[in-house]
Structure 1
Amino acid sequence: MKLNSMIKYSAIAVALSSSLAWGQVSPEEAAKLGDTLTPIGAEKAGNADGTIPAWDGGLSSVPAGFDGVNYIDPFAGESPKFEITESNADQYKDKLSVGQMAMLKKYSDYKIRVFPTHRTAAYEQIIYDAAKRNATSAKLVADGNGMNDYELSVPFPIPHGTDREKAHQIMWNHITRWRDGSLKRNVVQMTPLANGDYTPVKFSEQLSYRTSLTDYDPAADPNVIYYFKQEITSPARLAGNVLLVHETLNQVKEPRRAWIYNSGQRRVRRAPQVAYDGPGTASDGQRTTDNFDMFNGAPDRYDWKLMGKREMYIPYNSYELNSKKNSYDSIIKAGHINQNLARYELHRVWVVEATLKPGERHIYAKRVFYVDEDTWQIVLVDHYDGRGDLWRVAEGHHIYFYDQKISWFSAETLYDLLSGRYLVLGLTNEEPKGYEFDVESGSDEFTPAALRRAGRR
């Protein structure tokens, strides 16, 4: 973990935007972190029947034989406790999302293999310490569309206030969750046809939090959370196109800054469409910009509400899906990924509902998010169209990078129930090196001028 400062994000643009501040809890409430709550705010205790164990610090050791690149499955010897299929889905519907039930009903070969639950998530002490400070200092401003006075990650470990306020806080926890100070990754996206045929689109991506830059300047870009750069490396017809994003804290006060380098035209241009329901990069219309990472960007077009907390079977500890022994052909199938490679466990999740505001525009009129309590990571999303019908179902297949103490995804999937197509993003199985953590980067790598240097033809 390379960070130049334990700086608080307190953007001037955000601080001046509104006098409303939500989210802070008392020191007495914050004292629950590390006591009855995990250091980032999950319930430490297990459930009443023992099917969810108590959190005991997470996965604390690296499996023997790990080579630093290929992640060994710590639970490879386990067998499923049971399988949920179309024939027995109603028996388990109290622990499934509407979207999961729809997938089980639509595809006779779709199944949910339920394994023993392992609460693997753990973070560096610096993240725990920051979360405890954030609990009493971080504030939502601008009607929930921005925030300030938080450090590093988990701004709101103890959601507080009204259901609307809590919903905003939970979504910001997902957006700002810790994913290393600066990293690179080589990942693949597929958008299979209904018959399963696909063409891989390969991305080389770099993400750097502002405070991790080697030339970090506290006065520079105070409203930016992180910088993101994405280059398409394959197929040839798309190779060389590059996207650059400066992710802002308050995207209503200061919209996300985005640029695209088009290798065919050899020019850089601003890209305001890289937001909300603008088309996702090379996605063949199968995802929106804010589908990336399950949800990203400005929350201002929706009314948000916390619907409660519940136990659910969610994709978790998905090491098999990440394994180098499984080719893309073995993963990509007609209608959905190979569910024999997917692992589900029983965990507690926060349920957040987003309903499109009157007069606002988005292709999704309603979205229901399911957020893992141990990581603040969205693991399931149900997307509804303007008629109120379920349209798309998203799953984030959680994986814990135990050597880095980071939770993320083996893959994100987004299933279109109407067309029978889907998108899968984030696979690294056939890539020589998927993730590279703790990379050094400077601000000059994230300028529009840098796009031309990165672009090729």
Structure 2
Amino acid sequence: MNVLKAAALACALAIGSHICLAEVSADEAKELGATLTPVGAIKAASADGNIPAWTGGMTTPPPGYVRKLAPGAYIDPFKDEKPILRIDSKNMAQYADKLSAGARELLKRNPDYYLDIYPTHRTAAYPESVYEATKRNATKCKTLQGGLSLDSVCRGGIPFPIPKSGYEAMWNHLVAYQLPVSLHNSDVLIVDTAGHPYLASEVDGYMEMPFYMGDKRSDPDKYNFVDFNFTNPPRSRGEIVTYADYLDPVKQPRRAWSFDPGQRRMKLAPTFAYDTPAAPSAGTSFFDDTFLFSGAMDRFDFKLIGKKEMYVPYNTYKLAMQCVGEKALKAHTLNPSCERWELHRVWVVEATLKAGMRHAYSKRVLYLDEDNPAAGMADNYDGGGNLYRGLFVYPFQVYDASSPFGAMYSVFDFVKGNYSINVMLNPTGYYDFHPKIPDERELTPEALAGSGND
């Protein structure tokens, strides 16, 4: 592995532990905004210049942009660029060290599949309030209970811009900034083992991050809340799945509810976590596969390996906004002409199943973008150590709101031979990044039960 020199790696090697307890010093924190970006990424370009320096990200819409709720609303600022490299099954060995195991497996199994590599653009940018909170968090924020919980003083910014352990890097991922409130109408599409696509679910989704909402929410320990209202297929219309995650999942595990329109009542759903098959994806992924990893970390030991350069999906405006629905799908892969891959530096985190714990995965390897910890890839392995699933997030920068956004994610099952693409716009779908923030009373289980469609 071509691991870059990083403080986290040095700490992990020196102590030889998956939990490095060294705190960020005031001198280290001074590098935020200097040699490091305000969220802790290396500001400078790579030695060969293939990864450019970060110069502030993308905060201005391109010419012609008009805010609207429709596919294609966010213009691709790089639509005229051409690939600088194409990787396929014939030349993949040459670039293997920069490809995830999942990407290599897709190329190996599908000779007609390829990765078009485009010039790297470090578009990630955040509101100034997030930068200020991140700098404060750098010296004050800490994990508790062996990394499983996050101190409630960590608010409003990336908690660990200079992560020293796998748990800190994972908390950066779990609470990564992606707009405090957003709405979407989108699909989960499944391509079965025979290569046939079908609709698993269409949902009106609501997502909020109380972690970034200041005093607008009453519970200071809730960091994430989602509500999915199923509108299709007809058999699922009116069903609701909703859950909330907390900074101390040991004390307060995920609170989840489901609404069955036939029974007309909202029920607690304690199984909507870990490796329970996720209802919105028709069971083709687990609840903790959501956007690479979701929920409590107590079943795995998380080790920070370090940082390296890898090819990752990035600036995926075309996939998110133009290749909507089945245009994006082929029999066993996404349509490679819709994808965009770039070379970026990522944090590598290895999660190993703890002794005595149960999970369908024995190991997970996560690759988290240094500029946007919500973006990246994951390789998940079964109990025999074989590659089980490859996961990919497809991000773009919401340039009229100074926010990165993980638009959708895919899960490729290498055992069953199927795959899913989740939170994908349909031809009439939309993302709304500027909605009115609802009153907290509108988000109670009782209120949400009344919002289902019959």
TM-score by length of 2: 0.91
**Partners of 2:453 and 2:250 in 1: CA distance:** 33
Contact in 1 for aligned 2:52/2:122 (Cα 8 Å): yes
Structure 2: segments with no counterpart, 5+ residues: 1-18
Rate the CA distance shift 1:416–1:212 in 2: closer, same or farther, 3 A.
closer
Q: Which residue of 2 is the match for residue 39 of structure 1?
A: 38
Contact in 1 for aligned 2:177/2:212 (Cα 8 Å): no
Please state whether the residue corresponding to 2:216 is helix, strand or coil.
coil
Letter in 2 for 1:201: S
Q: Which residue of 2 is the match for residue 12 of structure 1?
A: none
Deviation of residue 285 (structure 1)?
2.0
Q: Which residue of 2 is the match for residue 374 of structure 1?
A: 371
Rate the CA distance shift 1:212–1:40 in 2: closer, same or farther, 3 A.
closer
Deviation of residue 215 (structure 1)?
8.1
Rate the CA distance shift 1:212–1:43 in 2: closer, same or farther, 3 A.
closer
Q: Which residue of 1 is the match for residue 15 of structure 2?
A: none
Q: Which residue of 1 is the match for residue 216 of structure 2?
A: 216
Deviates further, 237-246 or 20-29: 20-29
Deviation of residue 46 (structure 1)?
0.6
Identity %: 39
Structure 1: segments with no counterpart, 5+ residues: 1-19, 161-165
Contact in 2 for aligned 1:23/1:159 (Cα 8 Å): no
Rate the CA distance shift 1:360–1:126 in 2: closer, same or farther, 3 A.
same
Deviation of residue 196 (structure 1)?
2.4
**Partners of 2:134 and 2:348 in 1: CA distance:** 21
Question: How many residue pairs align between the two structures?
Answer: 430
**Partners of 1:55 and 1:206 in 2: CA distance:** 31
**Partners of 2:375 and 2:77 in 1: CA distance:** 23
Q: Which residue of 1 is the match for residue 104 of structure 2?
A: 101
Is residue 413 from structure 1 mapped to residue 410 from structure 2 by the alignment? yes
Deviation of residue 382 (structure 1)?
0.3
Please state whether the residue corresponding to 1:221 is helix, strand or coil.
coil
Rate the CA distance shift 1:402–1:213 in 2: closer, same or farther, 3 A.
closer
**Partners of 2:22 and 2:438 in 1: CA distance:** 32
Rate the CA distance shift 1:211–1:312 in 2: closer, same or farther, 3 A.
closer
**Partners of 2:67 and 2:416 in 1: CA distance:** 40
Deviation of residue 22 (structure 1)?
4.9
Q: Which residue of 1 is the match for residue 62 of structure 2?
A: 63
Rate the CA distance shift 1:30–1:354 in 2: closer, same or farther, 3 A.
same
Deviation of residue 23 (structure 1)?
6.7
Rate the CA distance shift 1:266–1:177 in 2: closer, same or farther, 3 A.
same
**Partners of 1:229 and 1:432 in 2: CA distance:** 17
Contact in 2 for aligned 1:182/1:441 (Cα 8 Å): no
Please state whether the residue corresponding to 2:250 is helix, strand or coil.
coil
Q: Where does structure 1 differ by over 6 angstroms across 4 or more consecutive aligned residues?
A: 211-215
Contact in 1 for aligned 2:155/2:212 (Cα 8 Å): no
Please state whether the residue corresponding to 1:454 is helix, strand or coil.
coil
- Deviation per CA, 1:406-437: give whole Å up to 9, x if none: 11223211101122200101211513432242
Is residue 157 from structure 1 mapped to residue 161 from structure 2 by the alignment? yes
Q: Which residue of 1 is the match for residue 147 of structure 2?
A: 144
Q: Which residue of 2 is the match for residue 207 of structure 1?
A: 207
Q: Which residue of 1 is the match for residue 192 of structure 2?
A: 193
Is residue 240 from structure 1 mapped to residue 238 from structure 2 by the alignment? yes
Is residue 333 from structure 1 mapped to residue 336 from structure 2 by the alignment? no
Q: Which residue of 2 is the match for residue 439 of structure 1?
A: 436
Letter in 2 for 1:239: R
Q: Which residue of 2 is the match for residue 120 of structure 1?
A: 123
- Deviation per CA, 1:100-152: give whole Å up to 9, x if none: 11111011122111000000001111110000000011110011111111121
Contact in 2 for aligned 1:23/1:169 (Cα 8 Å): no
Is residue 73 from structure 1 mapped to residue 66 from structure 2 by the alignment? no
Rate the CA distance shift 1:175–1:337 in 2: closer, same or farther, 3 A.
same
Deviation of residue 316 (structure 1)?
0.4
Deviation of residue 439 (structure 1)?
2.3
Deviation of residue 191 (structure 1)?
1.3
Is residue 359 from structure 1 mapped to residue 356 from structure 2 by the alignment? yes
**Partners of 1:150 and 1:382 in 2: CA distance:** 29
**Partners of 2:47 and 2:241 in 1: CA distance:** 48
Q: Which residue of 1 is the match for residue 223 of structure 2?
A: 225
Rate the CA distance shift 1:211–1:113 in 2: closer, same or farther, 3 A.
closer
**Partners of 2:324 and 2:100 in 1: CA distance:** 29
Contact in 1 for aligned 2:59/2:400 (Cα 8 Å): no
Q: Which residue of 2 is the match for residue 27 of structure 1?
A: 26
- Deviation per CA, 1:362-384: give whole Å up to 9, x if none: 11111000000011124110010
Deviation of residue 275 (structure 1)?
0.8
Please state whether the residue corresponding to 1:91 is helix, strand or coil.
helix
Q: Which residue of 2 is the match for residue 430 of structure 1?
A: 427
**Partners of 2:419 and 2:343 in 1: CA distance:** 25
**Partners of 2:330 and 2:295 in 1: CA distance:** 31
Deviates further, 434-443 or 399-408: 434-443
CA RMSD of aligned residues (A): 1.8
Rate the CA distance shift 1:252–1:108 in 2: closer, same or farther, 3 A.
same
Is residue 342 from structure 1 mapped to residue 347 from structure 2 by the alignment? no
Contact in 1 for aligned 2:179/2:433 (Cα 8 Å): no
Contact in 1 for aligned 2:396/2:407 (Cα 8 Å): yes
Please state whether the residue corresponding to 1:292 is helix, strand or coil.
helix
Rate the CA distance shift 1:295–1:96 in 2: closer, same or farther, 3 A.
same
Letter in 2 for 1:143: G
Contact in 2 for aligned 1:180/1:438 (Cα 8 Å): no
